[in-house]
Amino acid sequence: MNQPSPTPGGGVAAPQPHTLAAFEAAKGFMPRDEGLALYAAAAEAGALGLPLLEVGTYCGRSTLLLADAARAAGVPALTVDHHRGSEEQQPGWEYHDPEVVDPVVGAMDTLPTFRRTLHAAGLEEHVIALVGRSPRVAALWGTPLGLVFIDGGHTEEHASADYEGWTPHLAPGGLLVIHDVFPDPADGGQAPHHLHERALASGAYGPGPATGSLRVLRRR
Ligand code: SAH
Ligand code: MG
């Protein structure tokens, strides 16, 4: 099922080499093969001429790839995060990084690192950062989207709110991409897997490529 999207010229859509280098150097939680699959999906969705949306910016690792695809397609990439980190990224938890704590307020703040990452890669103008809780932003949303990439909070509550808030805005033919889908509970948390099953069971999506824990579904 590893079939990256073809480009009009017949090749596989790939990010600019300097974007891929920036992606690999950025803090974050996505391996290269999944990043390339995300880029290919974003490149395909970009052809719809609609914005590409990410839930879960963190330090901008995956955002770089959406931004590069958005640049190529002439559409904006939107990325939503409150920048205070998920449960498992808080001090004392497995994925905590003390470098992204704001010493003044004593809480996580990934926004400065994200902005530096995007600026250094020269992709700032292609991205609109939405800083806030995903369901609160989604509740105000009214524009069709070409791609919805769900990589935010991994509790059942957060994951379902992302699905319910954003997928109604996905245009026909648009792509729903879900990260951290682990069918075997031994490999990771189950909330993203449940979203994937829910999306398939809804009948609104056709199955698409799977790469690592990344799943791509096409809106009918
Ligand atoms: N896409 C990133 C990783 C995202 S980590 C990468 O490629 O590296 C998950 C992010 O989701 C965290 O930054 C956290 O702050 C954010 N998040 C979790 N729950 C959220 C919510 N309800 N609203 C907005 N952001 C949320
Ligand atoms: Mg993830």
Angstrom distance (rounded) from CA 100 to CA 13: 32
The pick from 19, 36, 55, 109 for probing ligand 1's pocket by mutation, whose C-beta has the most ligand atoms within 8 angstroms, reads 55
Q: Would you state the structure tokens that stand for residue 165, as one six-digit string?
A: 């808030």
For the stretch 98-110, pLDDT in tens is: 999 999 999 999 9
Taking the whole predicted model, whether its pTM rises above 0.85 is answered as yes
Instruction: Give the active site residues.
Output: 154
Distance 54 CA to ligand 1 centre (A): 9
Angstrom distance (rounded) from CA 73 to CA 21: 20
Which one of the ligands is nearest to 89 CA? Answer: 1
For the stretch 13-70, pLDDT in tens is: 999 999 999 999 999 999 999 999 999 999 999 999 999 999 999 999 999 999 999 9
Find out whether the beta carbon of 180 lies less than 6 Å from any atom of ligand 1.
no
Domains and CATH numbers, the chain: 8-219 (3.40.50.150)
**C-alpha 107, offset from chain centre:** 23
Q: What is the pLDDT of residue 11?
A: 66
Distances (CA, A) of 22 to 28, 32, 65, 129: 11, 11, 9, 18
What is the number of the ligand 1 atom nearest to the C-alpha of 133? Answer: 23
Share of the chain above pLDDT 70, in %: 95
Residue with tokens 């001429």: 49
